[in-house]
C-alpha cells in the first residue's frame, strides 16, 4: 500500500507492498509487534476445512475501475487483492512471500534483480502466465499515453530482459531500497490483454480484470455488486469458498441493518463509532487490527507557525490520550510519528508529548506572546488566529476537531474550526495555499516500505497549487530543519541493509518529535465484522482484505 | 396545433443550450477537480500528471472545454467518464433502468393515493377524514426523506423481517418486495403534496353550477363525482404530475443511497464528489431535456383536455 488519504471518498493507492526481506530482525530494531486484537481473530481450522459456501461482504464505495494502474480508490484494491497478484507478496507479518515469482535474487552491487517465475500458473481465461506478462506490465506502466498513476519504482528500471519464459531480469542504475516493495509486489497484468490496445485495456479490463488470484471476477452489476467466483486452477490450490459477493451499500446505517438481518455477512474497516453496535450483532464477530494510517494535523509553515516553540506548544495542548480513550474508545493508538507501531521502522523509544497546558503556555510566553485585551495571544501587534480545517462528512472527525479546538482556545489562540469536502479542501483553492495560518486534519496511509520522502522532502513541495507532492506545509516556507530531513529521508531510500535503514527512520522520527512539523494525533485501528463461522480470516495492516481469501472457509 | 408544437420544440433548442452553458460554468466553478487527489498521490510524477490533465482536456481554457463538449454532443458523443473510463452513455444506461422502475412504481402509487385521498377529502370536507388526511399530509411533507427511509427500513426489515432492507433483488425476497420500501419512501412525500392539489382542485369544481344541476337531475352521487367533477378537477393535477415527473426521473439521491438502489441519483452524487465532469454534464443534459420535454407535454395535455384552450 502506498501513501494515501485514509478517508471515505477518493483515496489513492497503489498495491505496492514492500518490506524488509530478511526474517531476522536487525539488532536495534524491535521485532514486528503483535497485532492487537480485542477478540481472538478466527484461527486456522484443523484438518477439516469445509468446502463451499458463499460470502456477502458489504462495501461502502464502489470501485470506479478495476484496472489496477488507473484507479484512485482503496476499495478497488480491496477487490483486486483476491483477483490479481504480483511477483511477491506480504504475509501477515510484513515478510515477503513468493507469489508469481518462486524466488528472487539481488546482485551483489544491488542493481540487478532476477526473478524466477512460478511454472504452470494460468490466467483466469486459461492462458499461461510467463515472463512476457511482466515485460508488458512494465511497458504499460511506463507508457505516457496510458497515464498510469503509479510509476515509482518501475521508472527506476533501466532495462528488463526475459531470457526465458520463467525468468525476468531487471536492471537499475542506483541502489533503491523500496524497489522490491514497489516493483516486486506490484500487480502484474496479462500481456494478451494489454496488447488489445490502450482503450480496451482501460475500459474492458477495468470492468473485467483477468488475474491469477484465487478468485475471478464473474459479474459486475453496476452500482450493485461485484461477484467473484473461485478459481479452480489457482496455483495454491482450489479455494474453499465458491463465491464472494461484494455488495455495494453506500449508507452506513443500511450496512448495519443488513448485518443484523443477515442480508450482508461481513463488513470491512468500519468506523470506530460503530464498534459497540458491531459487537452486539448476533451472528458476527469483530476483529481489530492495527492499520498503516496516521492521522495528524498539518501546520502551514507561515507566520507564527514557523516558530518551533509555537508548534511544540500546540502539541502539548493537544489532548491525545483523552481523544483516544473517550472519543475513539481505545480503537486507536496515540501517535507521534509517521511509522506505525506494527513495523520494525517504528521507534519505540519515543513517547508522545503529555497533555500539559501549563507547559504550552510557558513555551508561548518564551516565544514572545502576550494576551491582549480580548484574551487572545498577540505578538508584535498581530493576534494568533488559526484556521483549523477538517474534511466534512464524518461525525467522529468533527468531534475530534471540537475537542482540540477547545483546548487550543484555552491557551488564548483564536481557533476557527472549518470543514469542506475533500475535493475542495485539497484543491488549488483550498486552505493549504492561502496565506493564513492553518492546520488541516487528515490521515495518510503508508505503504509497506518506510520511504517517507513524499511527506517531508523538499523535492515534494508542490511547485504551484496544482502541482504534485505531499510536502504541502512547506509550500510558502521550507522547514527550519529542511536540510536535515532531506538528508535523512534521501539516505533512507538508498540504504539497503534493514538494520541500518531502521536506524535512519528512527532518527527521522526523533526529528519529527522534536520539530513538530505536524501534530501527530493517533494511529487508527482497522475494524472488521465477520460471520462467526468464518475461519482463516487473517486481517493485517500490510494487505488488503482478500489477500488470503483462498484460505477462508465457512464452517457449517 | 402542429405549428405550435413545432415552435415549442424549436424554442427548446436555445433553451437547452442556455441550460448547458450555465451548468457547465457552475460545474467548473466548483473548487477542485478530478485531478485534485492525483496531485497528492505519492507515486505521481509531475509529467504524468500533466499527461493525465491533457487527456482529460483540463489544460484547455473553460470555453474551449465547453465548445468541445457541445461539439461532441452534437455528434451524439457524451465522452468518456474521467474516473471510470467508460463511455458516459454506457454509465447512464446501466443505471437508468432501476431509476425508471422505481419512479414509475412510486408515481403510480402516488397518483392512486393522491387522487383517492384528495377526492374523499374534498367531498367530505371538514369531516374527521378530511382533518386526518390534512394533518397526515403536513406531517408527510415535513418528514425528512432520510429519516423516513431509515425508519421504514428499521421497522419493516430489521425488526419485523417482513421486507428486504435494501437492493433490487436477493435470494430471500422477490424483486417486487424490494421495490416496496423505496417506492413507499418516495410516495409518502409525493402523496402528501399531490393530495392537496387534488383536494383544492375538486373543491373548486364541486361548487360549480353544473354539478348542482347534475345532482338536481338525479345523477347518482358516484357518477357526479367521477364522471362530472373529477374529470375537470384532474386537468390541473395532470399538469402538476407532468411537471414533477422529470425531477423524479433524474433520480432521488437520498432514497437510492439508503436502499442501495443503483440509480441515477446516486450516480449524480458520486460524480459530483469525484468531479467526473463528463458524467455530470451527461446527467445534466439528460435532466434538462426531460424537463423541457415534459413541460411541453404538460402544455399539450392541458390543451387536449380543456377544450377552451387553443394554441396557435
Express as a percent the part of chain B with pLDDT over 70.
100
Distance from CA of A103 to the nearest CA of B (A): 26
Q: How far is CA A388 from CA A101, A311, A418, A419, A474, in A?
A: 48, 14, 6, 8, 17
Q: Which of B45, B150, B263 sits opposite A468 (nearest CB)?
A: B45
| Contact yes or no for A257 and B161 at CB 8 A | no
| Contact yes or no for A253 and B51 at CB 8 A | no
Q: How far is CA B228 from CA A100, B214, B215, B245, in A?
A: 79, 8, 10, 27
Contact list, A427 vs chain B (CB under 8 Å)? 31-33, 36
**DSSP for residue A525:** E
Contact of A389 with A419, CB cutoff 8 Å: yes
Q: Using alpha carbons, select from A215, A248, A244 the residue that is nearest to residue A232.
A: A215
| Contact yes or no for B39 and A466 at CB 8 A | yes
Q: How far is CA B186 from CA B55, B109, B152, B180, B193, in A?
A: 40, 10, 12, 10, 12
Contact of A438 with A314, CB cutoff 8 Å: no
Q: Which of A148, A422, A462 sits opposite B39 (nearest CB)?
A: A462
Distance from CA of A163 to the nearest CA of B (A): 29
State yes or no: pLDDT of A35 exceeds 60.
Answer: no
Q: Using alpha carbons, select from A545, A72, A81 the residue that is nearest to residue A268.
A: A545
Pairing of strands A382-383, A167-172: unpaired
Pairing of strands A385-391, A438-445: parallel
Q: Among B40, B101, B273, B280, pick the best mutation site for testing chain A contact (most A Cβ within 10 A).
A: B40
| Contact yes or no for B37 and A5 at CB 8 A | yes
User: How much is the mean pLDDT over chain A?
Assistant: 90
Q: How far is CA A148 from CA A62, A389, A460, in A?
A: 20, 31, 19
Q: Which of B84, B165, B257 sits opposite A65 (nearest CB)?
A: B84
Chain B's closest residue to A201, CA to CA, is B85
Contact list, A253 vs chain B (CB under 8 Å)? 150, 153, 258
- DSSP H/E element including B46: helix B46-56
State yes or no: pLDDT of A32 exceeds 70.
Answer: no
| Contact yes or no for B266 and A223 at CB 8 A | yes
Q: Using alpha carbons, select from B148, B178, B151 the residue that is nearest to residue B254.
A: B148
Distance from CA of A413 to the nearest CA of B (A): 29
CA distance A87 to A92: 17
Residues 134-163 of B with CB under 8 A from A: 150, 153-154, 157-158, 161
Q: Among B33, B34, B42, B260, pick the best mutation site for testing chain A contact (most A Cβ within 10 A).
A: B42
Contact of A137 with A151, CB cutoff 8 Å: no
B207 touches chain A (CB under 8 A): no
| Contact yes or no for B273 and A422 at CB 8 A | yes
Contact list, A4 vs chain B (CB under 8 Å)? 41-42
Whole-structure pTM value: 0.88
Q: Which of A10, A251, A430 sits opposite B257 (nearest CB)?
A: A251
Q: How far is CA A393 from CA A3, A285, A355, A419, in A?
A: 22, 27, 28, 9
Contact of A542 with A92, CB cutoff 8 Å: yes
Distance from CA of B107 to the nearest CA of A (A): 23
Express as a percent the part of chain A with pLDDT over 70.
91
Contact of A353 with A337, CB cutoff 8 Å: no
B47 touches chain A (CB under 8 A): yes
| A493-511 core/surface letters (b: 16 or more CB in 10 A; e: else) | bebbebbebbbbbbbbbbb
Q: Using alpha carbons, select from A410, A411, A401 the residue that is nearest to residue A309.
A: A411
B226 touches chain A (CB under 8 A): no
Contact of B41 with B47, CB cutoff 8 Å: no
Task: Please write the tens of the pLDDT for every residue from A68-121.
Answer: 999 989 999 999 999 999 999 999 999 999 999 999 999 999 999 999 999 999
Q: Which of A3, A144, A155 sits opposite B42 (nearest CB)?
A: A3
Q: For residue A326, how many other CB atoms are within 10 A of its CB?
A: 12
Q: What is the pLDDT confidence band of residue A529, given thresholds at 50, 70 and 90?
A: very high
B93 touches chain A (CB under 8 A): no
Q: What is the pLDDT confidence band of residue A48, given thresholds at 50, 70 and 90?
A: low
Contact of A386 with A437, CB cutoff 8 Å: yes
Could you list the pLDDT tens digit for every one of the 312 residues in chain B? Answer: 788 888 889 999 999 999 999 999 998 888 888 888 888 887 788 888 888 888 888 888 988 999 999 999 888 899 999 999 999 999 999 999 999 999 999 999 999 999 999 999 998 888 999 999 999 999 999 999 999 999 999 999 999 999 999 999 988 899 999 999 999 999 999 999 999 999 999 998 888 888 888 888 888 888 888 878 888 888 889 889 999 999 999 989 999 999 999 999 999 999 998 999 999 999 999 999 999 999 998 888 888 877 787 776
CA distance B285 to B279: 10
CB within 8 Å of A64: residues ≥ 6 apart: A71, A72, A73, A76, B81, B83, B84, B274
**At which residue does the C-alpha cell 347518482 appear?**
B220
CA distance B237 to B114: 10
CA distance B106 to A114: 63
Alpha carbon distance, N-terminus to C-terminus of chain A = 34
Task: Please write the tens of the pLDDT for every residue from A124-148.
Answer: 999 999 999 999 999 999 998 898 8
CA dihedral A247, A248, A254, A255 (to 10 degrees): 60
Contact list, A454 vs chain B (CB under 8 Å)? 42
CA distance A250 to A223: 9
**At which residue does the C-alpha cell 531510500 appear?**
A493
Contact of A290 with A36, CB cutoff 8 Å: yes
Residues 264-303 of B with CB under 8 A from A: 266-267, 270, 273-275
**DSSP for residue A300:** -
Q: Where are the alpha helices (DSSP H) in B207-276?
A: 209-217, 221-223, 231-249, 253-258, 264-274
| Contact yes or no for B274 and A64 at CB 8 A | yes
Q: What is the per-residue pLDDT for A31?
A: 34
Q: Find the helix packing angle between B2-29 and B62-74, rounded to 10°.
A: 140
State yes or no: pLDDT of A337 exceeds 80.
Answer: yes
| Contact yes or no for A423 and B30 at CB 8 A | yes
CA distance B42 to A4: 7
| Contact yes or no for B48 and A454 at CB 8 A | no
DSSP state string for A255-299:
HHHHHHHTS--EESS--GGGHHHHHT-TTEEEEEEE-SEEEEEEE
Q: Which of B51, B84, B157 sits opposite A261 (nearest CB)?
A: B157
Contact list, A151 vs chain B (CB under 8 Å)? 43-45, 48
Longest dimension (CA), chain B: 87
Chain B's closest residue to A259, CA to CA, is B158
B83 touches chain A (CB under 8 A): yes
Q: What is the per-residue pLDDT for B312?
A: 61
**At which residue does the C-alpha cell 475500459 appear?**
A203
Contact of A274 with A286, CB cutoff 8 Å: no
Residue B279 CA, chain-centre distance (Å), reads 18
Q: Among A251, A293, A489, pick the best mutation site for testing chain B contact (most B Cβ within 10 A).
A: A251
CA distance A551 to A537: 8
CA distance A467 to A461: 8
B101 touches chain A (CB under 8 A): no
Contact list, A8 vs chain B (CB under 8 Å)? none
Distance from CA of B51 to the nearest CA of A (A): 7
| Contact yes or no for A64 and B45 at CB 8 A | no
Q: Which of A10, A149, A260 sits opposite B158 (nearest CB)?
A: A260
Amino acid at each position: 500500500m502506498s501513501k494515501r488519504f485514509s478517508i471515505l471518498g477518493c483515496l489513492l493507492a497503489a498495491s505496492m507492498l514492500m518490506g524488509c526481506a530478511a526474517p531476522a530482525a536487525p539488532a536495534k530494531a524491535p521485532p514486528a509487534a503483535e497485532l492487537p486484537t480485542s477478540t481472538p481473530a478466527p484461527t486456522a481450522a484443523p484438518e477439516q476445512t469445509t468446502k463451499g459456501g458463499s460470502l456477502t461482504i458489504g462495501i461502502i464505495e464502489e470501485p470506479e475501475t478495476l484496472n489496477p494502474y488507473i484507479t484512485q480508490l482503496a476499495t478497488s484494491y480491496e477487490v483486486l487483492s483476491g483477483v490479481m497478484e504480483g511477483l511477491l507478496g506480504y504475509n501477515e507479518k510484513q515478510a515477503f512471500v513468493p507469489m508469481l515469482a518462486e524466488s528472487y535474487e539481488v546482485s551483489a552491487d544491488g542493481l540487478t534483480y532476477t526473478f524466477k517465475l512460478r511454472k504452470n500458473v494460468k490466467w483466469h481465461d486459461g492462458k499461461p502466465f510467463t515472463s512476457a506478462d511482466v515485460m508488458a506490465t512494465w511497458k504499460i506502466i511506463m507508457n505516457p499515453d496510458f497515464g498510469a498513476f503509479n510509476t515509482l519504482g518501475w521508472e527506476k528500471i533501466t532495462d528488463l530482459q526475459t531470457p526465458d519464459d520463467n525468468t525476468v531480469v531487471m536492471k537499475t542504475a542506483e541502489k533503491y531500497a523500496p524497489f522490491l516493495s514497489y516493483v516486486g509486489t506490484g500487480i502484474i497484468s496479462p500481456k494478451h490483454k494489454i496488447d488489445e490496445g490502450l482503450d480496451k485495456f482501460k475500459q474492458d479490463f477495468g470492468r473485467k480484470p483477468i488475474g491469477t488470484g484465487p478468485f475471478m471476477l464473474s459479474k459486475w452489476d453496476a452500482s450493485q455488486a461485484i461477484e467473484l467466483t473461485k478459481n479452480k486452477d489457482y496455483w495454491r490450490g482450489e479455494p474453499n469458498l465458491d463465491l464472494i459477493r461484494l455488495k455495494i451499500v453506500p449508507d452506513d446505517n443500511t450496512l448495519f441493518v443488513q448485518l443484523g438481518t443477515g442480508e450482508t455477512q461481513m463488513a470491512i474497516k468500519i468506523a470506530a463509532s460503530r464498534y459497540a453496535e458491531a459487537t452486539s450483532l448476533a451472528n458476527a464477530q469483530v476483529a481489530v487490527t492495527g492499520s498503516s494510517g496516521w492521522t495528524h494535523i498539518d501546520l502551514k509553515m507561515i507566520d507564527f507557525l514557523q516558530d518551533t516553540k509555537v508548534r511544540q506548544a500546540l502539541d502539548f495542548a493537544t489532548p491525545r490520550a483523552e481523544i483516544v480513550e473517550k472519543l475513539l474508545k481505545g480503537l486507536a493508538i496515540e501517535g507521534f510519528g509517521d511509522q506505525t507501531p506494527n513495523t520494525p521502522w517504528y521507534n519505540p523509544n519515543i513517547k508522545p508529548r503529555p497533555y500539559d497546558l501549563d507547559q504550552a503556555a510557558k513555551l508561548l510566553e518564551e516565544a514572545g506572546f502576550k494576551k491582549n485585551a480580548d484574551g487572545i495571544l498577540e505578538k508584535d501587534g498581530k493576534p494568533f488566529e488559526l484556521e483549523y480545517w477538517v474534511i466534512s462528512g464524518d461525525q467522529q472527525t468533527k468531534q475530534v476537531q471540537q475537542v482540540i479546538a477547545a483546548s487550543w482556545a484555552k491557551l488564548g489562540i483564536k481557533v476557527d474550526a472549518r470543514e469542506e469536502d475533500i475535493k475542495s479542501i485539497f484543491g488549488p483553492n483550498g486552505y493549504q495555499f492561502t496565506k493564513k495560518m492553518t492546520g488541516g486534519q487528515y490521515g495518510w496511509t503508508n505503504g509497506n516500505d518506510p520511504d517517507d520522502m513524499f511527506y517531508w522532502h523538499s523535492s515534494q513541495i508542490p511547485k504551484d497549487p496544482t502541482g504534485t507532492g505531499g510536502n504541502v506545509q512547506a509550500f510558502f516556507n521550507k522547514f527550519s530543519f529542511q536540510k536535515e530531513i532531506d538528508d535523512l529521508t534521501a539516505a533512507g531510500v538508498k540504504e539497503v541493509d534493514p538494520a541500518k535503514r531502521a536506524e535512519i527512520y528512527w532518527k527521522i522520527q526523533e526529528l519529527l518529535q522534536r520539530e513538530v512539523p505536524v501534530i501527530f494525533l493517533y494511529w487508527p485501528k482497522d475494524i472488521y465484522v465477520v460471520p462467526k463461522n468464518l475461519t482463516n480470516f487473517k486481517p493485517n495492516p500490510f494487505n488488503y482484505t482478500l489477500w488470503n481469501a483462498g484460505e477462508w472457509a465457512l464452517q457449517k | 396545433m402542429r405549428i405550435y408544437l413545432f415552435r415549442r420544440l424549436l424554442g427548446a433548442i436555445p433553451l437547452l443550450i442556455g441550460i448547458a452553458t450555465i451548468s457547465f460554468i457552475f460545474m467548473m466553478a466548483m473548487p477542485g477537480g478530478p485531478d485534485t487527489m492525483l496531485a497528492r498521490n505519492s507515486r505521481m510524477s509531475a509529467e504524468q500528471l500533466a499527461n493525465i490533465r491533457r487527456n482529460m482536456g483540463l489544460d484547455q481554457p473553460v470555453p474551449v472545454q465547453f465548445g468541445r463538449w457541445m461539439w461532441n454532443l452534437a455528434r451524439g458523443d457524451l465522452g468518456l467518464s474521467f474516473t471510470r473510463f467508460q463511455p458516459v452513455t454506457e454509465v447512464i444506461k446501466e443505471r437508468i433502468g432501476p431509476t425508471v422502475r422505481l419512479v414509475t412504481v412510486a408515481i403510480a402509487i402516488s397518483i392512486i393515493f393522491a387522487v383517492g385521498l384528495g377526492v374523499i377529502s374534498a367531498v367530505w370536507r371538514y369531516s374527521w377524514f378530511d382533518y386526518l388526511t390534512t394533518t397526515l399530509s403536513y406531517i408527510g411533507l415535513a418528514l425528512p426523506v432520510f429519516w423516513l427511509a431509515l425508519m421504514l427500513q428499521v421497522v419493516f426489515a430489521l425488526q419485523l423481517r417482513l421486507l428486504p432492507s435494501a437492493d433490487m433483488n436477493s435470494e430471500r425476497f422477490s424483486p417486487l418486495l424490494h421495490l416496496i420500501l423505496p417506492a413507499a419512501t418516495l410516495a409518502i412525500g409525493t402523496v402528501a403534496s399531490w393530495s392537496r392539489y387534488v383536494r383544492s382542485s375538486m373543491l373548486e369544481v364541486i361548487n360549480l353550477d353544473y354539478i348542482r344541476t347534475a345532482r338536481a337531475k338525479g345523477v347518482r352521487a358516484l357518477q357526479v363525482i367521477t364522471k362530472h367533477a373529477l374529470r375537470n378537477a384532474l386537468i390541473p393535477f395532470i399538469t402538476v404530475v407532468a411537471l414533477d415527473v422529470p425531477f423524479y426521473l433524474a433520480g432521488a439521491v437520498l432514497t437510492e443511497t439508503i436502499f442501495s438502489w443503483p440509480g441515477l441519483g446516486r450516480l449524480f452524487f458520486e460524480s459530483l464528489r469525484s468531479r467526473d465532469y463528463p458524467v455530470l454534464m451527461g446527467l445534466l443534459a439528460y435532466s434538462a431535456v426531460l424537463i423541457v420535454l415534459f413541460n411541453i407535454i404538460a402544455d399539450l395535455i392541458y390543451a387536449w383536455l380543456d377544450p377552451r384552450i387553443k394554441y396557435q
